[in-house]
Amino acid sequence: MVEGVVELIKGNFSDVEIVIPEHQEKRVHISVEKEKVKEIAKFLKDNGFRHLSFITCVDWIDEGKFELVYGLYSYEEKIVVLIKTKIDRDNPKQETLLPLWDQAQTYEREIHEMFGVYFDGNPGLTPFILEDWEGIPPMRKDFDSRKYSQITYDSEAK
């Protein structure tokens, strides 16, 4: 149950903000400091949340922050827990989850390429989808894709 998971997290971590979103069943959103992510992910993994659904990133450009979102799922409780953490936009660094889940590699590689977030301790942050990309990472909010395509592909605009 959602309440059980909330109790479990509250009982073991004090400075964690827990939100149960409206209209959404079987979802728990928690916000933590960026140093706490690995600890809490390990704790949840030991408590049944063994499936790493996804890792993604949201660019809050007005705040000057990147928000990393980790989705964990438990096959026993059948609940999705989203761990959210905000990191500095100017110096985006975060500890890798590679020791916990091998497949975090794919997601971290993608975020590194698309947002320029650097994952400490991940050796394989090689180019993933883009080829020979220079300039700012394309999924950031300040990347203007319309302007880019005009400059790159429209001969008249050049």
Partner 1 sequence: MKTYELFIGPQHVGITGNFSVILELEGNVVKKATPNPGFLHRGFEKLMEMRGFIHNVPIVCRICVPDPDPNEANYAMAVEKLLGIEPPPRAKYIRTIVLEFSRIASHLFTFGGHAGSIGLYTIPNWTISDRDFILDLFEMLTGGRVYHIFIYPGGVRRDLPDGFIEKAKDVLNYLEKRLDDYNKLYFDSYMFKKRARGIGIINKEDAIEWGVTGPNLRASGVKADTRKDDPYAAYGELDFEIPVLTGGDAYDRIMIRRMEVVESIKIIRQALDNIPDGPIREKVPNPMRFIVPPGDAYVKVESSKGEYGYYMVSNGKDKPYRVYIRGASMTHGIHILEKLLPGNYLADVSQIMFSLDVCPPEIDR
Question: Considering beta carbons, is residue 14 or 62 the nearer one to partner 1?
Answer: 62
Question: Considering beta carbons, is residue 40 or 57 the nearer one to partner 1?
Answer: 57
Which residue type sits at 120? D
30 binds partner 1 (CB under 8 A): no
128 binds partner 1 (CB under 8 A): yes
DSSP strand pairing (27-31 vs 118-120)? unpaired
Residues of this chain, 97-126, that bind partner 1 according to CB under 8 A: 101-103, 105-107
Only one residue has tokens 């080829």, namely 131
d(CA 37, CA 27): 18
Of positions 78, 91, 120, 154, contacts partner 1 by CB under 8 A = 78
For 14-48, give one letter per residue: b (16+ CB within 10 A) or e: eebebeeeeeeeebbbbbbeeebbbebbeebbeeb
Does residue 114 contact residue 137 with C-beta atoms inside 8 Å? Answer: yes
Of positions 15, 17, 22, 120, contacts partner 1 by CB under 8 A = 22
Using CB under 8 A, list all residues that contact partner 1.
Answer: 21-27, 29, 50-54, 56, 58-59, 69, 71, 73, 75, 78, 80, 82, 101-103, 105-107, 128-131, 138-139, 141, 143, 145-146
